[in-house]
Every structure is written in structure tokens, then in C-alpha cells.
């Protein structure tokens, strides 16, 4: 059949349009990197698409290696992007719902003295359900690790590399360079001292040019004290009590009060996780990156002492395998990474031998478990400066959020944080020992809170009186001991990988943790006696737990001790069970480049490698660690080629 040139042109145009349409549909309607069946072999397999796994996988994929990310959960639900309602993810199908064993010295207000440990089970991991507080730790944290390559100077450089300023005309760099922390556009930001050297730049635009932002930047929303009277009172009270007040999280040991910086995209009003900032863009641009969800890794596959792949259960419970030619990297979070290692024969004999698991490497996997504990106390106010359920349910809030991405729903409720170095006796500790957090919420739903945190109802009402009223004004003052000395463990108790391991954080086993918590609470209580808080009618409700006796208050040491042992709750930061360390350190599970000692082809990159927790919530420090780990892996790849 012969076509006229007109018919030929039309056919060509129709075909091109169809191809373009198909390509467009394929791009937008395909899962953009999500796969149903993996290939047989990849260069790298990253286990877990959480805070660390997303950063690592994105960076490895940028090097053209074939990368598989395998994640036990599914895609995060739409509401996980709304900052204020993050707590409703706890106890849901997107949470691993771990539980500790009954605690001997703590958790008196909890049923069976058992703490519930939420951990994210979805793409984004715990970073997709956390409370969005950004902190960078302090230099002393890293120096105290005594691990080559992880000293304060190196971490300072890494964190500076991750920090970015933006204003108006700064163009994002293409993806694939260093990720950055990207602050919301605020003119006064530049005059604020931040991460050392940038302070020395002469002008605002210097600083901007110096720190251009990559499109993988992690956005930080700074709570603005001029718009938030409660935060202003917190900062004024800190100043009145002799603490320093800074506008930024500083790379410094000087404890200070500051407005919280939260990982929220201020323009869209949505959670900013490493899924959004790293994995999602990498999935769109790198077809060598595959992400398999709803597939749970159960074991490592070995060839003698080398890890050559993984075994996993697919969504239908079938056992499957995938091979890795270079490395398997465990980023499954502290609990599950520990479980996978132990199930695969990497762990201490006293855990593996009773279960007849052949030992591949005798290492203290699962020991050194630590967590931050928080003691939340309720402060009633008589001024209308706080958030509560009635204000939140106002249709204007919804409109404001849906249309403008603004309002209470676009915040985490965390307004101020303070790292404490000044002691009550006017001495100074060498590094921060405590943290105070201002959570602006006057009413707390008793049903939700008691069920997600396993709190006894009666204890709740003695602890948060009045807060159940939907229109209550007030806030929660959270005290955290930053460097707990109690150490617990994670141990498998069955060879069945679907059985959760035994989790015992041994909370408040060490006397220091009790006193450190008491000192932090006392510093918080002092704030409430300042003019700034008196003007708002602040009244602290000391919990009236019967076991703590009749005389409540910070002067009664017996009451304070009992308060801590009854009311301390997890801060959700389990860490340390596969700690990094020098070759000669018997407590180290991974070497300074995060390779598991005594075997090959295996690395750990997540919160379990922290030898000790940093001075604050760890999410941003973990991002820095994953970023460095990717560099180690890629450097090794280059060296092998040479």
C-alpha cells in the first residue's frame, strides 16, 4: 500500500504523539523505580528504606551501580506528610510496634512496666513518622567516640557540607552532589551565627554563594519567636535564668536556648524526610535503582565468610533470594539490623548457640542498646497562646493548610529546644547533659496517648490533669537526659525471623540517668518561675502518683526519683547495637568504615552503629553518617577498579 506524503506525515505525527503519550504515561503512572520482581543480581543491596537507607541508596545509584533497596513496609500513607498528625502513625500498620520487656527500674506508669517502641515500617522509615526535630549534636559527642575518621572536626565538615542557606535567587544544584539542609527563606537568617566558618563570611550573599543548595536539600522550618508568644516566653525565661539564647542550632558546646528547627518544607507545609529529599528524586532519574517494597529480609546468604546476597519473604510469604556482587548494606534500623545479623550467625555465642545458629563472626551484636528517655510534664496557662483541639478543629485551620500549606497542621508543635550545660549550682558541664523541649499543645487526647504509649489511664489523669479538655491552654515541657549510661540489649529468642527479638533497654539501671533527669527537670521548673511565664499564668502540674507520696515538688528528692522512675518514656531513639569502633576495641561490631568485622561484603549503616547517642534527637546526624558511608563505599569501588 502506498501512502501520500500527507498521510505519511499524519501517521508519523500520530505515532510520535502516541509514543510521547506512552512515555509520559509510563513516567507518571509507572511506579518510578518501584518494582514487583527484582533482578537476580545487583551490585549493592540496601536493606531498609529508612532515614539512612534512602540517603545511601540515592548516592550509590548516582554512581551508576545497580542498586536494590528492599523495604519491609509499603509506601507511606498520605497523612504521614502532615507534620502535626504524625503520632497517629504509631500503632498502625506502618509501625513495627516493638515492645520492651517489663522494666525493673522504670516505666511505673505503663501497663506491665512495658514501653512501646514505635519504629517506621514504610518507605521513609522512622524518618517518616518522627517529630521532625533537627539537631546536629555537639563536638564532644563525636570526640568521645574515639573512632578514627569520626572526630568532631570531620563531623563538623560533614555537617557544614550538609548545611545550606537559601534566599530567593539561589539555584539548586543538580541532584547527585552533597545533600543539604535548606532553610526556609528568611531574610534575618543570614545575620544569625551558625556553624562557625559561615559566620566569618562578610555578607549575606557571600554566605548564599558559599553554600549553594542541592535539590536534595533537607528543608528546615524555623519557628519564629515573633509570631509565637509561648516560644518567646521560653527564650526570655532561659535568658532570665542565666542561659545563653541563640537563634540557631550551633556547632558549639555552649548550651543554649533556641527556636526549634524542624524538618518541614515550610512552603508546602509537609514533612521533609529522606524519602522525599533523596530516594524519590533518585528513583525518577536513575533506572539502575530498584525499590522493592513489602518484602522483609530474613537472613544473609553466605559463601564461606563473604556475604553474597539476601534471603527475604515476599508479600505473599514466599522465601526468595537476591545476589549482591559487591555488598549488602544493612540499614534496617537498630532492632531489625540486630535481628538480621544474629539470625545470620553474626553475634555473641551466648545468643546464637542456644538456638543452634552456626557462628560466622563472634561479635557483641545487640549489646550496648541505649535510648533517650523523656519526662513530659503538663503546664497549664491562662493565656490564649497555645494550640489545643478546639483551635485545631477550626475549619479555618483546615482551609489554611489545604490551600496555603500553613497553620497548626503544618507545624510539629515543637517550638523551642534548649541544650543545658549550666548546672543549678551555676557550674558548667563540659558537654550538654540535658535537653528541654517546648511542645505547644494544651489538650491531649487521653485515648490516643494512653494507647500509643501504653500508659495506664489512671496514671494519665494524675499526670496530665485538665489536658483532656479540648479547649485547655497549656503546653508540655519535656526533659531529656542526653547521655544515659544504662545499657541494655536486643536478642533473638527464636530462629523464626518473624518473631520479634527480646528488647531490654534496662532503663534507669544506672543511677546517673535518674539524677541527670532530675537535674534537667529542675532547670525546666526554674523557667516557670520567671516573669515571662508568670505573665502567661503558667502553673506546673506535678503528677500525683500515689506511689510517689504526698509531697510533690522538686525539693523532695524521693518524689523526684519516683517521678522519673514512673513517668519517663521513650524518646524513640534506640541505638548502639552494632557500634563502630577501632580494630582493637572488643565492643566494636563495625570498623570505622562501617564494615562488619571478621567477614566481607557486609556493612551496617543506621542508628545501630552509634557508639553513643549524640546530644539531641539523632536523625540529622544519621543522615550525615549515611552520606559519609556512601563515600567510603564509592571510594572502595574506585580503588578496586584501580
Interacting residues toward ligand FAD by CB under 6 A:
47-53, 70-73, 118-122, 125-127, 129-133, 296-297, 331-333, 336, 340, 572-573, 606-607, 617-620, 622
Contact 183, 259 (CB under 8 A): no
CB nearer to ligand FAD: pick between 129 and 369? 129
The least distance separating ligand FAD from the CB of residue 455, rounded to whole angstroms, comes to 15
The least distance separating ligand FAD from the CB of residue 254, rounded to whole angstroms, comes to 21
CB nearer to ligand FAD: pick between 542 and 576? 576
Distance CA(407)–CA(352), nearest Å, equals 52
The least distance separating ligand FAD from the CB of residue 56, rounded to whole angstroms, comes to 9
CB nearer to ligand FAD: pick between 125 and 543? 125
The least distance separating ligand FAD from the CB of residue 527, rounded to whole angstroms, comes to 21
Sign for the CA dihedral angle at 233, 239, 243, 249 comes to positive
C-alpha cell at 408: 497548626
Contact 108, 547 (CB under 8 A): yes
CA distances from 142 to 261, 614, 621 (A): 21, 8, 10
CB nearer to ligand FAD: pick between 122 and 540? 122
Distance CA(64)–CA(292), nearest Å, equals 18
Distance CA(130)–CA(116), nearest Å, equals 15
CB nearer to ligand FAD: pick between 130 and 158? 130
The least distance separating ligand FAD from the CB of residue 499, rounded to whole angstroms, comes to 13
The least distance separating ligand FAD from the CB of residue 310, rounded to whole angstroms, comes to 8
Q: Name the DSSP class of 298.
A: E
CB nearer to ligand FAD: pick between 70 and 109? 70
Radius of gyration, alpha carbons of the chain: 25
How many Cβ atoms sit within 10 Å of the Cβ of residue 604?
31
C-alpha cell at 109: 506508669
CB nearer to ligand FAD: pick between 355 and 470? 355
From 31, 33, 36, select the one nearest 67 (Cα to Cα): 33
Residue of minimal Cβ distance to ligand FAD: 50
How many Cβ atoms sit within 10 Å of the Cβ of residue 558?
10
CB nearer to ligand FAD: pick between 270 and 620? 620
In degrees and rounded to multiples of 5, residue 455 shows phi and psi of -85, 140
The least distance separating ligand FAD from the CB of residue 291, rounded to whole angstroms, comes to 11
The least distance separating ligand FAD from the CB of residue 272, rounded to whole angstroms, comes to 12
The least distance separating ligand FAD from the CB of residue 368, rounded to whole angstroms, comes to 15
The least distance separating ligand FAD from the CB of residue 217, rounded to whole angstroms, comes to 17
CB nearer to ligand FAD: pick between 73 and 514? 73
Distance CA(599)–CA(607), nearest Å, equals 21
CA 463, 469, 472, 474: dihedral to nearest 10 degrees?
20
Place of cell 505573665: 535
Contact 400, 561 (CB under 8 A): no
CB nearer to ligand FAD: pick between 484 and 618? 618
Q: What is the 3-state secondary structure (H, E, C) of 499-539?
A: CCCEEECCCCCCHHHHHHHHHHHHHHHHHHCCHHHHCCCCE
Q: Exposed, middle or buried by CB within 10 Å (0-12, 13-18, 19+), for 256?
A: buried
Amino acid at each position: 500500500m502506498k501512502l501520500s506524503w500527507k498521510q505519511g506525515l499524519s501517521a508519523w505525527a500520530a505515532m510520535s504523539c502516541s509514543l510521547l503519550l506512552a512515555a509520559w504515561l509510563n513516567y507518571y503512572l509507572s511506579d518510578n523505580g518501584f518494582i514487583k520482581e527484582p533482578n537476580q543480581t545487583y551490585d549493592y543491596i540496601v536493606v531498609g528504606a529508612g532515614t539512612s537507607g534512602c540517603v545511601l541508596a540515592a548516592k550509590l545509584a548516582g554512581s551508576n551501580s545497580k542498586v536494590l533497596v528492599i523495604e519491609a513496609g509499603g509506601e507511606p500513607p498520605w497523612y504521614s506528610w502532615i507534620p502535626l498528625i504524625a503520632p497517629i502513625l504509631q500503632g498502625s500498620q506502618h509501625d513495627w510496634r516493638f515492645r520492651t520487656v517489663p522494666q525493673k527500674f522504670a516505666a511505673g506508669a505503663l501497663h506491665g512496666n512495658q514501653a512501646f517502641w514505635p519504629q517506621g515500617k514504610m518507605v521513609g522509615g522512622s524518618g517518616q513518622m518522627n517529630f521532625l526535630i533537627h539537631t546536629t549534636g555537639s563536638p564532644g559527642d563525636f570526640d568521645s567516640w574515639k573512632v578514627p575518621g569520626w572526630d568532631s572536626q570531620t563531623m563538623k565538615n560533614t555537617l557544614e557540607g550538609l548545611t545550606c542557606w537559601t534566599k530567593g535567587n539561589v539555584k539548586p544544584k543538580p541532584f547527585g552532589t552533597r545533600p543539604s539542609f535548606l532553610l526556609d527563606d528568611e531574610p534575618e537568617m543570614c545575620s544569625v551565627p551558625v556553624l562557625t566558618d559561615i559566620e566569618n563570611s562578610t555578607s549575606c550573599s557571600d554566605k548564599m554563594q558559599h553554600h549553594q543548595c542541592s535539590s536534595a536539600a533537607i528543608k528546615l522550618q524555623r519557628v519564629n519567636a515573633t509570631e509565637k508568644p509561648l516560644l518567646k516566653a521560653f527564650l526570655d525565661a532561659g535568658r532570665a535564668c542565666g542561659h545563653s539564647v541563640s537563634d540557631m542550632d550551633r556547632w558549639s558546646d555552649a548550651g543554649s536556648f533556641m527556636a526549634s528547627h524542624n524538618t518541614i518544607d515550610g512552603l508546602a507545609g509537609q514533612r521533609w524526610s529522606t524519602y522525599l529529599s533523596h530516594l524519590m528524586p533518585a528513583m525518577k532519574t536513575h533506572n539502575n535503582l530498584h525499590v522493592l517494597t513489602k518484602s522483609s529480609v530474613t537472613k544473609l546468604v553466605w559463601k564461606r565468610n563473604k556475604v553474597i546476597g539476601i534471603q527475604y519473604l515476599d508479600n505473599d510469604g514466599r522465601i526468595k533470594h537476591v545476589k549482591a556482587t559487591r555488598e549488602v548494606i544493612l540499614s534496617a534500623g537498630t532492632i531489625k539490623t540486630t535481628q538480621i545479623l544474629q539470625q545470620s550467625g553474626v553475634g555473641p555465642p551466648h545468643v546464637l548457640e542456644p538456638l543452634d545458629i552456626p557462628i560466622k563472626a563472634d561479635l557483641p551484636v545487640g549489646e550496648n542498646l541505649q535510648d533517650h528517655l523523656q519526662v513530659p510534664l503538663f503546664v497549664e496557662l491562662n493565656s490564649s497562646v497555645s494550640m489545643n483541639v478546639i483551635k485545631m478543629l477550626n475549619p479555618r485551620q483546615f482551609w489554611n493548610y489545604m490551600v496555603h500549606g500553613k497553620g497548626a497542621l503544618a507545624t510539629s508543635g515543637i517550638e523551642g529546644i534548649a541544650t543545658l550545660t549550666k548546672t543549678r549550682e551555676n557550674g558548667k558541664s563540659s558537654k550538654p547533659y540535658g535537653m528541654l523541649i517546648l511542645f505547644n499543645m494544651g489538650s491531649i487526647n487521653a485515648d490516643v496517648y494512653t494507647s500509643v504509649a501504653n500508659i495506664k489511664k489512671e496514671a494519665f489523669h494524675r499526670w496530665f490533669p485538665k489536658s483532656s479538655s479540648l479547649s485547655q491552654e497549656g503546653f508540655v515541657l519535656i526533659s531529656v537526659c542526653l547521655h544515659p549510661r544504662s545499657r541494655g540489649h536486643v536478642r533473638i529468642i527464636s530462629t523464626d525471623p518473624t518473631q520479634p527479638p527480646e528488647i531490654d533497654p534496662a532503663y534507669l539501671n544506672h543511677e546517673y540517668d535518674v539524677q541527670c533527669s532530675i537535674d534537667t527537670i529542675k532547670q525546666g521548673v526554674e523557667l516557670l518561675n520567671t516573669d515571662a511565664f508568670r505573665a502567661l499564668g503558667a502553673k506546673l502540674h506535678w503528677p500525683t502518683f500515689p506511689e510517689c507520696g504526698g509531697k510533690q515538688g522538686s525539693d523532695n528528692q524521693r518524689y523526684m526519683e519516683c517521678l522519673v522512675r514512673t513517668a519517663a518514656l521513650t524518646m524513640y531513639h534506640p541505638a548502639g547495637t552494632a557500634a563502630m569502633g577501632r580494630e582493637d576495641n572488643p565492643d566494636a561490631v563495625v570498623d570505622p568504615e562501617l564494615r562488619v568485622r571478621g567477614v566481607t561484603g557486609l556493612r551496617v549503616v543506621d542508628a545501630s552503629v552509634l557508639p553513643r547517642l549524640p546530644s539531641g534527637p539523632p536523625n540529622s546526624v544519621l543522615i550525615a553518617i549515611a552520606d559519609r558511608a556512601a563515600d567510603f563505599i564509592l571510594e572502595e569501588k574506585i580503588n578496586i577498579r584501580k
